[in-house]
Structure 1
């Protein structure tokens, strides 16, 4: 019996480019919300970028990640390039491991994604500290753990439009 490299036996429809744009834009809007940042909030933009880098590496690449990172830098009035560098490196390494990650279950995929998210967050903290900011403490890195924990849910939600119906319809060619 052959093992399916994508973790399930479902056939997925091709992804709609508008759906990719809408999901990335929604994640950016969540990142731009004026939330109390003293609480741990997941970085949904990084999560959605990693998802599309793994699933569609030819459509969503390093340039898209840099543009979204630059938008976050402008909005947060942080050092320009802080998030752009972090998201660019995050996308690069997500594209690097995209074939290997697809072989695992969603929970194991989250375990592979966690170090990438942690490194991206460490880059932003390091840049802030280099430019005179104070180190917020190690509890800040819990954001990466929370973001990685949302990976199975994110995968379920973002793959839902591509899934074919359960029952075959005789009028459809597939």
Structure 2
């Protein structure tokens, strides 16, 4: 029983670490503007799938890791992730019944909200200028959501995570 729980925790942690690697993987500048919010996608999936294992505090810690990896002001992504995953954590039974396209629209809105929170904090505290391409990752995250969902679900079923 203990080893099964450790495997399940390792799987969740492994997928989150992989998403953090994807978040900082070097790519061309034109593609970097469209890079999906991989860590947020991973957290949203795990909160919807296993809300008793992954919670808002976990999202806050992943947000801190994103802040550290991206070199942004500490706490901006952490606060945004915690605020954004709250509706997903609160309404996970309803979200589970959405179709993949409906979930993708929800992910688009959640990532837009997260990007807006980070932008507002950066703007007021660090005088960051507005650039429209800052919000493009919300669209790419929504486009990648069905694949993320299906791959993570296959992983969850393979390891019999409940």
Q: Aligned-pair RMSD on alpha carbons?
A: 2.0
Whole-angstrom CA distance in 1 between matches of 2:27 and 2:79: 23
Equivalent residue, structure 2, for 1:19: 11
* Structure 2 residues without counterparts, runs of 5 or longer: none
Q: Normalising by structure 1, what TM-score?
A: 0.78
User: Could you say which structure has the higher helix fraction?
Assistant: 2
Equivalent in the alignment of 2:66 = 72
Taking structure 2 as the reference length, the TM-score comes to 0.84
In the alignment, which residue of structure 1 is the partner of 2:79? 85
Deviation at 1:77, TM superposition (A): 2.3
Q: How far has the Cα of 1:110 moved from its partner? A: 1.1
Query: What is the match of residue 121 of structure 1?
Result: 115
1:110 and 2:104 equivalent?
yes
Distance 2:134 2:38 in 1: 16
Larger CA Rg, structure 1 vs 2? 1
Distance 1:132 1:95 in 2: 31
The count of aligned residue pairs is 151
What's the counterpart of residue 7 of structure 1?
A: none
Structure 1 stretches lacking a partner, 5+ long: 1-13, 165-174
Distance 2:137 2:13 in 1: 24
How much does 1:35 deviate? 4.1
